[in-house]
């Protein structure tokens, strides 16, 4: 997809959780397109964040789509809960235990009336999504090993983005390609050029002096 179709989805992970409502309001006013919510179970990744009650609370403070990234071993058990909490996009990992039945998992998200995403870790081949393109709206390319905000972008993510963008074009598939981890003002151009359509940015936006300026630059 070409320029002008980029969405910016600030991640809340590095924010001060005591003030998340205020942060989401600020990001909404600053021009964010989606709010990226990282849900972690301390098993799939070595960190814990928040669950569906937080999504429910954040739903009340913004009209923006809530982009919920589930880093859980058993996301299948929580799809209904997150759908009910007001998530708009629900993304699950191929590497999760429920990823054994990925097609069933993403179908259950669609059946809840939500957009379905599949996330792939840095070492996972993009062909992991080859036979679910029909069933999904989004592929999330992890450009760090998930678990923490503020990590360094892994450059091999660029050829993975290109690979997925080419495959989507071959299939004539309208697909969001979301990139998550270490996106910043120094590397966003190469990420967009590779074919990304949604840029997640935690540290680069949330910890900036002027989040609105960073969002505007990333979206270009
Ligand atoms: C990593 C999370 C990311 C991350 C993004 O586990 O999924 O959303 O927090 O934050 P930055 O942009 O700081 O890498
Ligand atoms: Zn994320």
| Domain extents in the chain | 7-219
Architecture of domain 7-219: Alpha-Beta Barrel (3.20)
Give me the pLDDT at residue 2, please: 44
Q: Is there a catalytic annotation at residue 38? A: yes
Task: Report yes or no on whether pTM surpasses 0.85.
Answer: yes
Look at ligand 1, atom 1, and give the residue with the nearest C-alpha.
146
Q: Mean pLDDT across the stretch 195-210?
A: 98
Average pLDDT over residues 146-165: 98
Of 16, 180, 193, 209, the catalytic one is: 180
Nearest CA-CA partner of 59 in 87, 79, 81, 40: 87
16 assigned to active site = no
| 8 A C-beta contact, residue 178 and residue 198 | yes
Nearest to 168 by CA among 132, 217, 207, 212: 132
């Amino acid at each position: 997809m070409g320029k002008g179709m980029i969405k910016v989805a600030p991640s809340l992970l590095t924010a001060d959780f005591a003030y998340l409502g205020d942060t989401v309001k600020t990001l909404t006013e600053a021009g964010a397109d989606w709010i990226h919510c990282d849900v972690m179970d301390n098993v799939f990744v070595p960190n814990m964040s928040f669950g569906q009650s937080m999504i429910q609370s954040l739903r009340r403070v913004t009209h923006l789509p809530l982009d919920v990234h589930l880093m859980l071993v058993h996301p299948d058990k929580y799809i209904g809960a997150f759908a009910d909490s007001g998530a708009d996009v629900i993304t699950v990992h191929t590497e999760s235990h429920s990823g054994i039945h990925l097609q069933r998992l993403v179908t259950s998200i669609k059946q809840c009336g939500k957009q379905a995403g599949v996330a792939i870790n840095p070492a996972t081949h993009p062909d992991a999504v080859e036979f679910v393109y029909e069933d999904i709206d989004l592929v999330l390319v992890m450009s760090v090993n998930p678990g923490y905000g503020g990590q360094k972008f892994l450059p091999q993510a660029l050829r993975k983005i290109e690979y997925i963008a080419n495959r989507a074009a071959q299939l004539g598939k309208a697909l969001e390609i979301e990139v998550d981890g270490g996106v910043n003002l120094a590397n966003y151009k190469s990420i967009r050029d590779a074919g990304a359509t949604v840029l997640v940015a935690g540290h680069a936006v949330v910890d900036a002096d002027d989040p609105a300026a960073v969002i505007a630059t990333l979206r270009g």
